[in-house]
Amino acid sequence: MSLSIGIVGMPNVGKSTLFNALTHAGAKVSNYPFSTIDKNVGVVAVPDKKLWHLNELLKPKECLPTTIQFIDIAGLVKGASKGEGLGNKFLGHIREVDAVIHVVRCFRDENVSHVSGNVDPLRDIDVVSIELALADLETTEKAISKMDKTVKTDPRHEGKDALEALTKIRDGLREGRNVMEVGLTAEEKELLKSYNLLTMKPTLYVANVDEADLGKEPQMLKAIKGAVGEENVIVVSVKIEEEISELPEDEQGSFLADLGLSESGMESVILAGYRLLNLITFYTIANDKLRAWQALRGTKAPQAAGKIHSDMERGFIRAEVVSYQDLEKHKAMAQLHHHGLVRVEGKDYEIRQDDVVHFLFNV
């Protein structure tokens, strides 16, 4: 199943237009707040030049890329944590996703209204961030209240560690820090997974700029990068990206070249989303089908096999692994066997980026 990324932001910042450019799903786009009421869902193939190169080398009958699911979520306004706008529905939808793309408006257009009256990216980021933090504060306070009496009466209760982690988060939120800033250990993060805390989700910011600002760095963009970190910001003109997505594929390259771009903003967004989720890609070829798979970095071979079928994880024997680079060099699997470049790996092997894997298992 594809991991999911929610597209969020204030109303009229370009969320649905971005979603349409990514997915070709035709979500409603309007010049008034809350034109998106129910979430829109689309599944997007991850751009993968190596997969298509493998397809040319191996010539299978079928070639399937891996995918990411994008979800266009209703716009959020101040007071959403208390139910303003479509607050409760919005926050519920965010809880369901694995990561967040926060679209920030950096364009001025008199024909596109702003719910706050004027364009101010840092204010908009603060509105969304504060509402998510307030919702998390409410969640943690309720959970602490529920668990506190039980743990006090039984200090060895299994919920003691979770209570301590929740208390650390609550105190941090009260001081203005989100969940990612309170210094949780890996064990604490695992304990709190079921709470689906909103500010615990990895977040990427998409700065939606005017076409004239592509390749430049206007003050609004500098401000965003200064606030959230340059590495967390992707710059696109969503309007232009939608136009590109509507062109025939063989015309898109020349259109990008005319704009002075080497790749579309949507490709950058998809690949950044993939990195945001800490995913790697590995490949399998079986029954004349070449396929890309996604796995969290650090996934061991049996669990990677389980992404193909649960029986393969249960009956895992070993994995025969070659690197994409070796396959590209020698052109054929038979040559890799001849040169001793096929590795045999066991249950403790961590699947690596670009591995080409054949899993052996008992049925």
The domains found in the chain, sorted by start residue, are: 4-116+201-275 (3.40.50.300), 129-198 (1.10.150.300), 298-361 (3.10.20.30)
- pLDDT of amino acid 81: 52
Rg (CA), the chain: 23
Distance CA 209, CA 25 (A): 22
% of the chain at pLDDT higher than 90: 37
Q: What integer is the mean pLDDT of 262-272? A: 84
Q: Which tops the pLDDT comparison, 170 or 247?
A: 170
Contact 280, 294 (CB under 8 A): yes
pLDDT in tens, 253-264: 888 888 777 778
**CA-to-CA separations, 242 to 17, 211, 265, in angstroms, rounded:** 7, 12, 10
Q: What integer is the mean pLDDT of 190-212? A: 89
> In the chain, at which residue ranges do the beta strands (DSSP E only) sit?
4-8, 40-45, 62-64, 67-72, 99-106, 203-209, 233-236, 279-286, 289-296, 316-323, 343-345, 355-361
Distance CA 43, CA 26 (A): 13
- pLDDT of amino acid 32: 38
Q: What integer is the mean pLDDT of 136-141? A: 89
The answer, yes or no, to whether residue 136 has pLDDT greater than 80, is yes
- pLDDT of amino acid 150: 78
**pLDDT-based confidence at residue 234 (cuts at 50, 70, 90):** very high
Distance CA 315, CA 254 (A): 50
% of the chain at pLDDT higher than 70: 88
**pLDDT-based confidence at residue 24 (cuts at 50, 70, 90):** confident
**CA-to-CA separations, 360 to 301, 311, 347, 350, 363, in angstroms, rounded:** 11, 11, 11, 16, 10
Distance CA 363, CA 213 (A): 58
**pLDDT-based confidence at residue 271 (cuts at 50, 70, 90):** confident
Mean pLDDT, the chain, integer? 85
- pLDDT of amino acid 29: 41
Edge-to-edge strands, sheet with 289-296: 62-64, 289-296, 279-286, 355-361, 316-323, 343-345
Q: Which tops the pLDDT comparison, 140 or 153?
A: 140
- pLDDT of amino acid 80: 47
* Residue 235, helix vs strand vs coil: strand
**pLDDT-based confidence at residue 310 (cuts at 50, 70, 90):** very high
Contact 325, 314 (CB under 8 A): no
**pLDDT-based confidence at residue 349 (cuts at 50, 70, 90):** very high
Q: Which tops the pLDDT comparison, 109 or 314?
A: 314
Q: What integer is the mean pLDDT of 106-133? A: 80
Q: Who's near 47: CB < 8 A, 6+ residues apart?
A: 267, 270, 271
Q: What integer is the mean pLDDT of 20-31? A: 61
**pLDDT-based confidence at residue 79 (cuts at 50, 70, 90):** low
Lowest mean pLDDT among 154-158, 255-259, 324-328, 340-344: 154-158
- pLDDT of amino acid 268: 87
- pLDDT of amino acid 289: 95
CA angle (106 as vertex; 216, 19 as ends), nearest 5: 105
**pLDDT-based confidence at residue 299 (cuts at 50, 70, 90):** very high
pLDDT in tens, 27-50: 444 433 333 445 688 888 898 999
